[in-house]
Amino acid sequence: MKFGVVIFPGSNCDQDVIEVLSRTSQQPVARLWHKDHDLQNCDFIVLPGGFSYGDYLRSGAIARFSPIMQEVVAHANRGGYVLGICNGFQILTEAGLLPGALLRNIEQKFICKNVHIKPETNSLLPTRHLDVNKAYKIPVAHGEGRFFADADTLKRLNDNEQVMFRYCDANGNTEASFNCNGSLESIAGISNANKNVFGMMPHPERAADPDLGNLDGLAIFESIMDTVAVS
């Protein structure tokens, strides 16, 4: 399994993701420039966090038209794996690879802090080996992370086990008061209907090193690695 990390102008978490993937996969990870049309035979594509193109329009709205995204969309439509983290999640919704939208945080402020999220299911690749009864401490850093979708879309997400994470407290309680940005139903991450495209607002790559005193994010990457065959 070969991984590729897309780098846009304004990406600032690409190297963090590359470092984590390199350690957990024990193999080189390809850097994919936004102007490229070549995924370099990568099987799993990651869109990292940051501020693609400065977020001067709507977060992810410009990056969606990058040349590399034509290839990412085609890859996903063939069943290839894609993970978007924070800005990457926003790009995936703008590209139509994930349903819903990420709106301005409910308090109209940029949030940068540790939060807790709880996996909703073990049917998705990033949560396959996580404990659905455990709250994982993962940092967030976003101004437009409030997940929104219409009622029919929310029903499909829940019925098809596409909700990947919900915001919660340290004990796993998902009441609205523990929702850091006002996302509908405290949703922090989802998948597409085919369960090969994933998006989440929290940054697991920022909680994946013992020097940071937190390895909760590493568990998400290890869940991916333990499930896919490394080639």
| Cα dihedral across residues 116, 120, 122, 123: positive or negative | negative
Strand partners, 85: 200
Euclidean distance between the first and the last CA atom of the chain, given in angstroms as a whole number: 5
Angle, CA of 81, 59 and 70, to the nearest 5°:
40
The label of the residue with tokens 């994933």 reads 198
Catalytic residue among 75, 116, 142, 203: 203
Radius of gyration (Cα) for the chain, nearest Å?
16
Catalytically annotated residue among 42, 86, 168, 180: 86
Q: Which residue matches tokens 């949560």?
A: 127
Q: Count Cβ atoms within 10 A of the Cβ of residue 137 and give its class: 0-12 exposed, 13-18 middle, 19 or more buried.
A: middle
Q: Is 203 a catalytic residue?
A: yes
Instruction: Measure the CA–CA gap between 197 and 88, rounded to whole angstroms.
Output: 11
Active site residue 86: yes
Who's near 120: CB < 8 A, 6+ residues apart?
A: 127, 132, 161, 163, 164, 165, 166
Helix (H) or strand (E) holding 32: strand 30-33
Q: Which residues pair with 165 in a beta bridge?
A: 119, 189
Q: Which residues belong to the active site?
A: 86, 203, 205
